[in-house]
Amino acid sequence: MDMCEDKGYFIQRCVVFQHVTAFPSKSTNGISNNVESKDGVRPASMLDVPLKDGRDYWWHDIISTIPENTDCPVEWVNSEDPLFILYTSGSTGRPKGVVHTTGGYMVYTATTFFYTFDYHEDDIYWCTADAGWITGHSYVVYGPLLNGATSVIFEGIPTWPDPGRYWSIVDRYKVTKFYTAPTAIRTLIKAGDQYVQCYDRTSLKVLGSVGEPINVSAWEWYYNVVGNGRCSIVDTFWQTETGGHMLTSLPGANIMKPGCATKPFFGIDARILSESGEDLTENSKTLGINVEGYLVFAKPWPGMMRTINNNYELFESVYFKRFPGYYVAGDGSVLDKDGDFWITGRLDDMLNVSGHLISTAEVENALLLDPNVSEAAVVGRKHPVKGECLYCFVTLKDSILNDHMNGFMNGDIITQEMKSELCQMIRTKIGPFATPDYIQSAPILPKTRSGKIIRRILRKIANEDYDFGDTSTLLDYSCLETLIKLSKFVINT
């Protein structure tokens, strides 16, 4: 609040909810003096942040003063009045303020929620996202509420008090529709199937994936272990800027393909363009071939962003300048002969290695096929001959990592044998041209609160450039020191 006021933005009211944090379950540290330790309860830490009289209020204090059955009249607004501004970190630069409007955004989130999750009145729906990012806005708050859905709202992490946390909640509340991120799925895979199988999950009907393309091995675990091979999986592609789902399968209506976002949502005109702007979309139908290029959208939709806050020129430049007449998603995609879309990753994550254009997402998927690997991130490193070479950050599963932690000090957590096996996996799945020059152990990857890997930071580390710029969206700063330390021991594969 003080920072806002220093910049000339004066906040009239700030209502604070009493949160819990990741302290030991019997911690006596409390955010207020009357918080006592209880078994299984994590009280918040003592924060040295004084409340300002007349501005800052506790939520529970305000609610306790409001009589039951209090009437709260509706505030009528125009459909194009701004509903919220949400900042998206992207992969480079400072966060951009995405502006969504009232009518279009709510129509779109209500509609996409209803059809993507095949919503019925007796459903118990649960999206694990933080309400502070776009998935939380669209599919924790607005979409479910606009449909009158019964929702589970969760604050916490999937591994506390143990990795069975999600499935215990599914069991307890008989959740029917479940929506989470591949990052969370991979984290739970590391823990082992036993944490899933000890809970009843027969209530589940639809499993959703959001936030990034889901790799094949994670999809198969989600389908076979969590869903027991009987639930529909909806792999949703969309962005903060789009407001709601753009590409997604619909339960029971599409043939599911592991790692495939399948079809455009109703009314969405998705196209594939070449580097020169040629529309390749029809080639997949008329010639019966797969085509690959830039994913764009040819027509507007209700939930699309209206501008970047206070910077309309940047809005036009980022999303419409590259191919005039199209919204440019910034992602590459393959459109197969069946008319299904496969997201290949951010185009700023495409690397040109010795004339070969390589998708980092494709390399990451190959690395994740190794049973010892739980997460992987691939970036480019400058190379005097190739122009760029592949630099891989690899997170090992807990059991493997624990066996090799004594190698932390000399940098050999990933053995030369492991590196050779990983390189061979990539050569087999993609080709010799995609063999990485460097493979580094990464016990923890730099991520935002929403779980997205900040690849800009990884590119800096790979190129020994430690001027990280804006790190305001980074969740855990300690990862920087760890990754820099381990990078000193990396040698060419």
pLDDT digits (tens, 9 = 90+) for 159-168: 888 999 999 9
- Angstrom distance (rounded) from CA 113 to CA 440: 40
pLDDT of residue 20: 57
Greatest alpha-carbon pair distance for the chain in Å reads: 73
**Is 283 in the same domain as 151?**
yes
Q: Is residue 252 over pLDDT 70?
A: yes
pLDDT of residue 414: 84
- 74 located within any domain: no
**Is 238 in the same domain as 359?**
no
Q: Is residue 227 over pLDDT 50?
A: yes
The answer to whether 86 and 309 have CB atoms below 8 angstroms apart is no
Ordered DSSP codes for 430-481: T-GGG--SEEEE-SS--B-TT--B-HHHHHHHHTT-------TT-S-THHHH
Distances 224 to 201, 258, 337 between C-alpha atoms, Å:
12, 12, 27
**Is 21 in the same domain as 94?**
no
pLDDT of residue 276: 87
**Is 41 in the same domain as 178?**
no
Q: How many domains would you assign to the chain?
A: 3
Average pLDDT over residues 310-329: 94
- Angstrom distance (rounded) from CA 414 to CA 439: 8
Q: What is the CATH number of the domain that holds 264?
A: 3.40.50.12780
- 164 located within any domain: yes
- Angstrom distance (rounded) from CA 77 to CA 229: 46
pLDDT of residue 355: 60
- 472 located within any domain: yes
- 123 located within any domain: yes
**Is 246 in the same domain as 369?**
no
**Is 404 in the same domain as 481?**
yes
pLDDT single digits (tens) 113-125:
999 999 999 999 9
- 77 located within any domain: no
- Angstrom distance (rounded) from CA 428 to CA 78: 56
More confident residue, 402 or 418: 418
Task: For residue 232, name the pLDDT band (cuts at 50, 70, 90).
Answer: very high
- 76 located within any domain: no
- Angstrom distance (rounded) from CA 320 to CA 369: 37
Task: Among 33, 67, 101, give the residue marking a domain's end.
Answer: 67
pLDDT of residue 198: 96
- Angstrom distance (rounded) from CA 483 to CA 410: 13
Q: What is the dihedral of CA 448, 450, 456, 462, to 10 degrees?
A: 70
- 326 located within any domain: yes
pLDDT of residue 23: 44
Q: Is residue 258 over pLDDT 50?
A: yes
Task: For residue 426, name the pLDDT band (cuts at 50, 70, 90).
Answer: very high
pLDDT of residue 415: 86
**Is 413 in the same domain as 303?**
no
**Is 306 in the same domain as 282?**
yes
The answer to whether 178 and 204 have CB atoms below 8 angstroms apart is yes
Return the closest-CA partner of residue 423 out of 351, 355, 366, 360.
Answer: 366
**Is 327 in the same domain as 369?**
no
Task: Among 37, 67, 97, give the residue marking a domain's end.
Answer: 67
- Angstrom distance (rounded) from CA 44 to CA 64: 21
pLDDT of residue 280: 94
pLDDT of residue 37: 44
Average pLDDT over residues 304-333: 95
Task: For residue 19, name the pLDDT band (cuts at 50, 70, 90).
Answer: low
The mean-pLDDT minimum among 19-33, 125-139, 309-323 falls in: 19-33
**Is 224 in the same domain as 147?**
yes
pLDDT of residue 29: 37
Average pLDDT over residues 59-84: 92
- Angstrom distance (rounded) from CA 84 to CA 334: 33
- 43 located within any domain: yes
Ordered DSSP codes for 340-360: -EEEEEEGGGEEEETTEEEEH
More confident residue, 128 or 8: 128
Interior CA angle at 257 toward 256 and 259, to 5°? 125
Helix (H), strand (E) at residue 376: strand 373-383
Task: For residue 410, name the pLDDT band (cuts at 50, 70, 90).
Answer: very low
The answer to whether 195 and 164 have CB atoms below 8 angstroms apart is yes
Average pLDDT over residues 459-480: 88
Q: Is residue 89 over pLDDT 70?
A: no
For residue 367, the tally of other CB atoms under 10 A from its CB is 24
Share of the chain above pLDDT 90, in %: 61
CA atoms within 13 A on the CB side of 55: 9
**Is 133 in the same domain as 204?**
yes
Q: Is residue 17 over pLDDT 50?
A: yes
Buried b (16+ CB within 10 A) or exposed e, 100-109: bbeebbbbbb
Q: Is residue 108 over pLDDT 70?
A: yes
Return the closest-CA partner of residue 145 out of 182, 109, 199, 189.
Answer: 109
Q: Which domain holds residue 32?
A: 1-67
Distances 156 to 153, 264, 372 between C-alpha atoms, Å:
10, 32, 27
Q: Is residue 42 over pLDDT 80?
A: no
Q: What is the CATH number of the domain that holds 427?
A: 3.30.300.30
**Is 332 in the same domain as 425?**
no
Average pLDDT over residues 138-148: 98
Task: Among 317, 345, 373, give the residue marking a domain's end.
Answer: 345
pLDDT single digits (tens) 344-389:
877 777 777 876 768 788 899 899 999 999 999 999 998 877 778 9
Task: For residue 43, name the pLDDT band (cuts at 50, 70, 90).
Answer: very low
The answer to whether 170 and 178 have CB atoms below 8 angstroms apart is yes
pLDDT single digits (tens) 151-205:
999 988 898 889 999 999 999 999 999 999 988 898 899 889 999 999 999 999 9
Strands (E), 56-171: 56-58, 82-88, 96-101, 124-127, 150-152
- Per the prediction, the chain carries an average pLDDT of 87
Task: For residue 25, name the pLDDT band (cuts at 50, 70, 90).
Answer: very low
pLDDT of residue 409: 44
